[in-house]
Homo-oligomer: A and B are copies of this chain.
Amino acid sequence: MVLQLPAFRRFISVANTQIRRYSAPGEGSIPPAKQKYVPTSGTYPKGFLAASTHAGVKPSNTKFDDLALIASESPCSGAAVFTKNKFQAAPVTVTRDMLKRRGGSGIRAVVVNSGCANAVTGKGGIEDAVRMGEETDKCFEDESSQPDGNGSRTVVMSTGVIGQRLPLRRIIHKIPVACSGLGSTHQHWLSAARAICTTDTFPKLLSRSFALPSAPDTTYSLVGMTKGAGMIHPNMATLLGILCTDAPIAPSALQALLSAAIDKSFNSISIDGDTSTNDTVALLANGAAGGPLITSASSPGYAEMQQTLTAFAVDLAKLVVRDGEGATKFVTIRVTNAASYADAKKVASTIARSPLVKTALYGKDANWGRILCATGYAEGVDSVVPAETSVSFVPTDGSAELKLLVKGEPEKVDEARAAEILEAEDLEILVRLSERGGQEAVYWTGDFSHEYVTINGDYRT
A235 touches B369 (CB 8 A): yes
Contact of A355 with B457 at beta-carbon distance under 8 Å, contacts A369-B234, A410-B120 already known: no
Contact of A354 with B275 at beta-carbon distance under 8 Å, contacts A4-B15, A122-B409 already known: no
A369 to B119, CA, bound (A): 9
A276 to B448, CA, bound (A): 20
Residues from chain B with Cβ under 8 Å of A460 in the complex: 363, 365
Q: How far is the CB of A174 from chain B (nearest CB, A)?
A: 26
User: For A235, A276, A451, which residue has the most chain B Cβ atoms within 10 angstroms?
Assistant: A235
| Interface residue? A362 (CB, 8 A) | yes
Chain B interface: which of A66-74, A83-91, A221-229? A83-91
B360 touches A456 (CB 8 A): yes
Q: Which of A444-459 contact B (CB under 8 A)?
A: 448-454, 456-459
A450 touches B448 (CB 8 A): no
Nearest residue (CB) in B for A87 is: B376
For A, the interface residue count at a CB cutoff of 8 angstroms equals: 77
B277 touches A355 (CB 8 A): no
B363 touches A450 (CB 8 A): no
Residues from chain B with Cβ under 8 Å of A16 in the complex: 2-3
Q: Which of B17, B355, B453 contacts A272 (CB 8 A)?
A: B355
Q: Which of B3, B274, B376, B451 contacts A373 (CB 8 A)?
A: B274
A450 to B459, CA, bound (A): 14
A410 to B234, CA, bound (A): 14
B449 touches A453 (CB 8 A): yes
Nearest residue (CB) in B for A85 is: B376
Q: How far is the CB of A35 from chain B (nearest CB, A)?
A: 15
A417 to B199, CA, bound (A): 28
B2 touches A384 (CB 8 A): no
A64 to B359, CA, bound (A): 29
A381 to B420, CA, bound (A): 44
User: For A4, A376, A453, which residue has the most chain B Cβ atoms within 10 angstroms?
Assistant: A453
Interface residues in chain A, defined as those with a beta carbon under 8 Å from any beta carbon in chain B: 1-4, 7-8, 11-12, 15-18, 84-88, 119-120, 122, 161-164, 230-231, 234-237, 272-277, 326, 328, 353-356, 359-360, 362-363, 365, 367-370, 372-377, 381, 384, 386, 389, 405, 408-410, 448-454, 456-460
The 10 closest A-B pairs by CB, nearest first: A235-B369, A363-B457, A359-B456, A163-B410, A162-B369, A85-B376, A87-B376, A86-B376, A1-B328, A359-B457
